[in-house]
């Protein structure tokens, strides 16, 4: 039997490789608009971050998300990520 390969992506905050479903994708599209991509299907340059407050705080502090996407990340995006992480915890 062949083992199924789980696609791994690297979190920009902790640099750990994790299954995509444990991460949140943030995308910068062709028009330099940044958004949180919950479908995983948005076009553009993507960066991944763990669905954890620890990694979000780390990414805000050292701007690793901004560096990965080569663009300033607005508070709106960080708020959105924060809300998503909060709602994940209630599941
Ligand atoms: Zn992480």
pTM: 0.89
Query: 1 CA distance to ligand 1 centroid (A)?
Result: 32
Query: 49 CA distance to ligand 1 centroid (A)?
Result: 5
Query: 31 CA distance to ligand 1 centroid (A)?
Result: 27
State mean pLDDT over 13-25. Answer: 95
Greatest distance between any 2 Cα atoms in the chain: 47
What is the dihedral angle through the alpha carbons of 61, 29, 39, 37, rounded to the nearest 10 degrees?
Answer: 20
The helix or strand, by DSSP H or E, that contains position 80, with its residue range, turns out to be helix 75-89
pLDDT per position as a tens digit, 23-78: 999 999 999 999 999 998 999 999 999 999 999 999 999 999 999 999 999 999 99
Task: State the distance between the two ends of the chain, measured CA to CA, in whole angstroms.
Answer: 33
Counts of helices then strands in the chain (DSSP H, E): 3, 5
């Amino acid at each position: 039997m062949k083992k199924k390969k789980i696609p791994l992506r690297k979190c920009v905050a902790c640099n750990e490789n994790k299954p995509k479903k444990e991460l949140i994708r943030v995308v910068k599209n062709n028009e330099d608009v940044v958004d949180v991509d919950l479908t995983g299907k948005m076009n553009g340059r993507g960066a991944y971050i763990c669905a954890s407050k620890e990694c979000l705080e780390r990414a805000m502090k050292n701007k690793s998300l901004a560096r990965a996407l080569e663009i300033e990340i607005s508070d709106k995006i960080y708020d959105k990520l924060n809300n998503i992480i909060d709602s994940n915890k209630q599941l």
